[in-house]
């Protein structure tokens, strides 16, 4: 969620380097080269003193084993490592003025597939974990991508084929959301990260859409009003989470007003409060709320919360439509993460996208995906796909309600138009700058 490197990302994108083909055409300020360049320019002492720069998964491997082996997932998805060529693009790093990182090996020279045996626990790490130095450590993965592995193979009783890959999206909904699909051949989709070779499923190309703010946006909407203390107090009295409480309010409103999703008909939201990751790749985009009134009741907040869930679901639909325009045929969503604990969030995503949403039997699918990699690293399974298929199971299924399709189609058209409107507002005022005195 750290977007302070927007300026650095724009400078990198202005180069139009061929390496950018593999990050959806434009590098995001959420990726590491812009962040590293920001550190170099704004924290020069820290830059000179740093011995290594590591992604979280790689840092954990390094601290556990003392061995600096980087994950193919982290380096390909966030650092522009060319997985299909098994190398860094030195020309790219030279042109963005970060080549010194390669010569000094500060971002790693040994890159290995996820689940590969990395080494055993060091004595210090073994003591910290209460384990022994005989414990093996496998190369790790980005948390969302572990969730993708954890859910991708569930419900499959046979080997996966090309049609399975084309029709399935792994949706990991948390503070932000990731939308991941894999294919046998590279698919270049403007504004969708990738194609990344072997970054999640070995031997497959990964396309990764995403929303920079999803769960965090819901939290913001719920908390950013004067009645939030009343909502939390009432929820606590009923031993409910705030989300469960608001969902109950929505149920009561639907019954009393005899409405379904049109309960939020007059509220339209562009959910780009932290920019748009996919498919516009516009980190400078901002949010819009249309239909605000002076109503400060709990019911008004519940409707605004409901409209926000719908807006997040429209963002998912937009990403899926772009993926399908480039060869995918996504018809089902395998979902995990914090958002999947909310039945309203799930049903709206099913209704809006028209996709069946399948939940894993094991709700902590991100941890399950990590366990699958450990099982592969320990030799229990011959491949990540085999582990994903055999270690997972299907939980609850949410099916789309077709009677709401026309309503969501209309609201989705408004959703698409709101971004065009936002760009129009921004262009109208582009010539004005605030002077500081």
How far apart, in whole angstroms, are the C-alpha atoms of residue 84 and residue 25?
17
Q: Where residue 434 falls among pLDDT bands split at 50, 70, 90?
A: low
Residue 231: enclosing H or E segment and its boundaries?
helix 228-237
Name the band, by pLDDT with cuts 50, 70 and 90, for residue 255: very high
pLDDT value, residue 437: 46
Domain boundaries, the chain: 1-111, 141-429
Could you please report the per-residue DSSP string of 373-409? Answer: HHHHHTTSSSSHHHHHHHS--EEEEE---GGGHHHHH
Distance separating the N- and C-terminal Cα atoms of the chain: 31
265 to each of 113, 304, 307, 338, 437, how far by Cα in Å? 47, 10, 8, 26, 44
* 111 phi/psi in degrees, rounded to 5: -115, 130
Tens-digit pLDDT profile for residues 290-326: 999 999 999 999 999 999 999 999 999 999 999 999 9
Class of domain 141-429 (CATH, top level): alpha beta
Q: Report the CATH architecture of 1-111.
A: 2-Layer Sandwich (3.30)
| Per-residue model confidence as pLDDT tens digits over 141-158 | 999 999 999 999 887 766
Question: Phi-psi category of 80—alpha, beta or left, where left has phi over 0 and alpha has psi -120 to 50?
Answer: left
Q: What is the pTM of this model?
A: 0.94
Tokens 């999703």 correspond to: 261
DSSP state of 398: E
């Amino acid at each position: 969620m750290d977007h302070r490197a927007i300026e650095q990302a724009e400078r990198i994108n202005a180069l139009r380097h061929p390496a950018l083909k593999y990050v959806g055409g434009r590098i995001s300020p959420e990726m590491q080269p812009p962040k590293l360049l920001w550190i170099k320019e704004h924290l020069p002492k820290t830059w000179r003193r740093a011995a290594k720069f590591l992604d979280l998964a790689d840092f954990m491997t390094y601290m556990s084993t003392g061995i600096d082996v980087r994950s193919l997932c982290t380096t390909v998805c966030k650092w522009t490592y060319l997985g299909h060529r098994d190398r860094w693009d030195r020309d790219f790093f030279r042109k963005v003025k970060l080549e010194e990182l390669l010569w000094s090996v500060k971002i790693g020279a040994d890159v290995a597939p996820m689940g590969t045996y990395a080494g055993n626990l060091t004595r210090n790490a073994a003591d910290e974990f209460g384990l022994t130095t005989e414990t093996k450590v496998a190369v790790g993965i980005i948390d969302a991508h572990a969730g993708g592995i954890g859910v991708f193979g569930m419900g499959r009783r046979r080997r996966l084929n090309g049609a399975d890959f084309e029709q399935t999206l792994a949706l990991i909904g948390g503070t932000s959301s990731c939308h991941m699909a894999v294919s046998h051949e590279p698919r270049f989709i403007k504004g969708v990260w990738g194609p990344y070779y072997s970054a999640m499923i070995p031997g497959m190309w990964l396309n990764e859409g995403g929303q920079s703010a999803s769960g965090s946006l819901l939290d913001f909407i719920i908390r950013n009003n004067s009645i939030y203390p009343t909502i939390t107090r009432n929820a606590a009295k009923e031993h409910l989470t705030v989300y469960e409480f608001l969902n109950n309010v929505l149920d009561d409103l639907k019954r009393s007003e005899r409405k379904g999703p049109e309960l939020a008909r007059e509220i339209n939201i562009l959910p780009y409060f932290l920019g748009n990751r996919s498919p516009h790749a516009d980190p400078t985009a901002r949010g819009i709320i249309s239909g605000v009134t002076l109503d400060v009741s709990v019911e008004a907040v519940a409707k605004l919360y409901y409209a926000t869930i719908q807006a997040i679901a429209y963002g998912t639909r937009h990403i899926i439509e772009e993926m399908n325009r480039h060869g995918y045929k996504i018809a089902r969503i395998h979902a995990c993460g914090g958002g999947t604990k909310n039945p309203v969030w799930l049903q709206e995503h099913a209704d809006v996208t028209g996709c069946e949403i399948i939940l894993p039997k094991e709700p902590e699918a991100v941890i399950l995906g990590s366990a699958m990699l450990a099982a592969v690293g320990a030799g229990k399974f011959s491949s990540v796909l085999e582990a994903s298929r055999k270690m997972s199971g299907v939980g609850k299924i949410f099916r789309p309600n077709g009677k709401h399709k026309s309503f969501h189609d209309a609201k989705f058209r408004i959703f698409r138009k709101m971004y065009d409107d936002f760009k129009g507002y921004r262009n109208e005022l582009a010539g004005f700058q605030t002077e500081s005195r």
